[in-house]
């Protein structure tokens, strides 16, 4: 049996793709190993969102080179966004790499491996597709706790945010057949999974139609609407079983609808949490980022969430500080937006110029690293204060928690998540993994709630 070691970096889409790759190669006789030294094939699924992400991969390859020296027959492949961005240039820059495969070419991996094995030639496939959704491939769950899983519902992104490489590395948007998504979710539920996260670069622009997918003649039993948008899909999945929790990521302020918010409100098993990246609090910078909304539009969406879903709805964001030409005053607009929303948490970075993006081609990266880092530390400081305040509001309240593991800090404690996506730890109890328990919050810090099972 040939052994495959697969390592993923970056976003949840990449981790989900690695499960597709594992499935494709398991049909070629590969079994997964978590011991890199015993592998015959190493695949690294890469991220390209910031310079640092690519440096991490190059560093990893230097480590792998030591293993390759002891095992010359070992095959090494680079997958994902860095593969797509650099294409065969990567083979020149990183000599130990044998295969370069982009996010839409994973069905071709068996052939690419064959070429290396039989012809001793390096192989590349970085063709992006307008159709590929891998919807008929059942993922092989990797490092799974058997309780929570990702389901990718669409691929690519049509938004051209000026700082972002994703549209170049993952191609145009295409939505997956809703019935294949429901089937995968039902399958996971039957195997004991109790939480799924629907994944897409921008789930709100999910749109599937019988017309464009030549599915006019669907059997009577599976009658579905001619056009399925995200709120429809969310409802279809929510109706599978009220014991199956549903999360989704990532939303986009330009097209999140009130219909989606109403589905959250009307279905207890659709989690009370939305990740809504703002990126900046200043309208001039948002325009320069080509985010297609301004500060007021964004705040309207936040107000809709609080009005329709409620003030307890967990809300998180992404922020980029120090974007091209950002003034101190505009930086303060981001800080004041955070004061207005009071996020539960955020992913925060300073601007990292990416080759080939609109921003790199048109704007000067003119904010010094020192100022970028200082602004980032101000945003992080504010977010930590807000996260703590939001968590303090939960003290003495009881939450329905899905138990999904053991606390990292102590094996005497179980851990789980509330519907609001808050991490909570509580004294361990036998045989509760994968079940729902009511937990009363006793204390908290900015990242974790501490409670007791009621």
The site for ligand SF4 (CB under 6 A) is made up of 157, 159, 161, 164, 166-167, 201-202, 252
Closest to 75 in 3D by CA, of 118, 130, 108: 118
- In whole angstroms, how close is the CB of 286 to ligand SF4 at the nearest point? 12
Cβ closer to ligand SF4: 82 or 182? 82
Closest to 5 in 3D by CA, of 137, 143, 112: 143
- In whole angstroms, how close is the CB of 81 to ligand SF4 at the nearest point? 10
End-to-end CA distance of the chain: 49
Half-sphere CA count of 229, side-chain side, radius 13 A = 10
Cβ closer to ligand SF4: 6 or 278? 278
**C-alpha span between 164 and 356 (Å, rounded):** 9
**C-alpha span between 386 and 340 (Å, rounded):** 11
Q: Are 155 and 177 in contact (CB under 8 A)?
A: no
- In whole angstroms, how close is the CB of 349 to ligand SF4 at the nearest point? 12
Cβ closer to ligand SF4: 39 or 279? 279
Cβ closer to ligand SF4: 231 or 249? 249
Hey, CA dihedral for 132, 252, 211, 182, is it positive or negative? Answer: positive
**C-alpha span between 213 and 206 (Å, rounded):** 14
- In whole angstroms, how close is the CB of 156 to ligand SF4 at the nearest point? 9
Cβ closer to ligand SF4: 203 or 236? 203
Cβ closer to ligand SF4: 140 or 154? 154
β-pairing verdict for 41-46 and 75-79: parallel
**C-alpha span between 337 and 152 (Å, rounded):** 31
Cβ closer to ligand SF4: 272 or 280? 280
- In whole angstroms, how close is the CB of 170 to ligand SF4 at the nearest point? 8
- In whole angstroms, how close is the CB of 163 to ligand SF4 at the nearest point? 7
- CB within 8 A of 81, min separation 6: which ones? 10, 14, 46, 47, 48, 49, 103, 165, 166, 169, 170
Enter the DSSP assignment of 112: H
- In whole angstroms, how close is the CB of 102 to ligand SF4 at the nearest point? 16
- In whole angstroms, how close is the CB of 181 to ligand SF4 at the nearest point? 20
- In whole angstroms, how close is the CB of 202 to ligand SF4 at the nearest point? 5
- In whole angstroms, how close is the CB of 11 to ligand SF4 at the nearest point? 9
Q: Are 343 and 386 in contact (CB under 8 A)?
A: yes
Q: What angle do CA 49, 50, 56 make, to 5 degrees?
A: 105
Distance of CA 194 to the CA centre of its chain: 19
Cβ closer to ligand SF4: 347 or 412? 347
- In whole angstroms, how close is the CB of 27 to ligand SF4 at the nearest point? 30
Closest to 154 in 3D by CA, of 211, 104, 226, 193: 104
**C-alpha span between 12 and 230 (Å, rounded):** 19
Cβ closer to ligand SF4: 79 or 166? 166
Enter the DSSP assignment of 436: E
Residue 427's DSSP bridge partners are 413
Q: Are 198 and 260 in contact (CB under 8 A)?
A: no
248: how many CB neighbours lie within 10 A of its CB? Answer: 26
Cβ closer to ligand SF4: 249 or 419? 249
Cβ closer to ligand SF4: 41 or 157? 157
């Amino acid at each position: 049996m040939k052994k495959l070691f697969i390592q993923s970096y970056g976003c949840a889409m990449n981790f989900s793709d690695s499960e597709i790759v594992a499935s494709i190669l398991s049909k070629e006789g590969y079994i997964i190993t978590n011991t890199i030294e015993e592998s015959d094939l190493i695949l690294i699924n890469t991220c390209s969102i910031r310079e640092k992400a690519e440096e991490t991969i190059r560093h990893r390859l230097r480590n792998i080179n030591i293993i390759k020296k002891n095992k010359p027959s070992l095959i090494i492949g680079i997958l994902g966004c860095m593969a797509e961005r650099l294409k065969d240039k990567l083979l020149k820059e990183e000599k130990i790499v044998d295969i370069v495969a982009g996010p839409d070419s994973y069905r071709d991996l068996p052939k690419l491996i064959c070429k290396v094995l039989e012809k001793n030639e390096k192989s590349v496939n970085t063709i992006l597709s307008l159709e590929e959704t891998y919807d008929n491939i059942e993922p092989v769950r990797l490092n799974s706790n058997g309780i929570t899983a990702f389901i990718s519902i669409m691929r690519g992104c049509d938004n051209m945010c000026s700082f972002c490489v994703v549209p170049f590395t993952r191609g145009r948007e295409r939505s997956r057949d809703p019935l294949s998504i429901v089937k995968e979710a039902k399958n996971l539920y039957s195997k004991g999974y109790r939480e799924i996260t629907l994944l897409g670069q921008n789930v709100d622009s999910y749109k599937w139609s019988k017309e464009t997918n030549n599915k006019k003649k669907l059997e009577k039993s599976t009658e579905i609407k001619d056009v399925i948008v995200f709120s429809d899909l969310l409802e279809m999945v929510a109706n599978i079983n009220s014991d199956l929790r549903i999360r989704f990521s990532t939303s986009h302020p330009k097209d999140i609808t009130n219909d989606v918010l109403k589905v959250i409100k009307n279905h207890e098993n659709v989690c009370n949490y939305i990740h809504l990246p703002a990126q900046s609090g200043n309208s001039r910078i948002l325009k320069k980022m080509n985010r297609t909304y301004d500060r007021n539009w964004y705040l309207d969406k936040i107000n809709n969430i609080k009005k329709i879903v409620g003030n307890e709805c967990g809300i998180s964001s992404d922020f980029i500080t120090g974007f091209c030409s950002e003034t101190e005053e505009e930086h303060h607009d981001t800080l004041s937006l955070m004061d207005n929303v009071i996020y539960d948490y955020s992913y925060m970075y300073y601007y990292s110029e990416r080759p080939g993006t609109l921003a790199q081609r048109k704007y000067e990266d003119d904010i010094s690293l020192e100022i970028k880092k200082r602004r980032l530390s101000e945003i992080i400081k504010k977010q930590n204060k807000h996260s703590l305040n939001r968590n303090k509001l939960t003290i003495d309240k009881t939450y329905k928690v899905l138990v999904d593991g053991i606390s990292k800090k102590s094996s005497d404690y179980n851990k789980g998540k509330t519907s609001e996506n808050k991490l909570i730890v509580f004294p361990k109890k036998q045989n509760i993994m994968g079940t729902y328990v009511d937990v009363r919050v006793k204390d908290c810090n900015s990242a974790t709630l501490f409670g007791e099972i009621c």
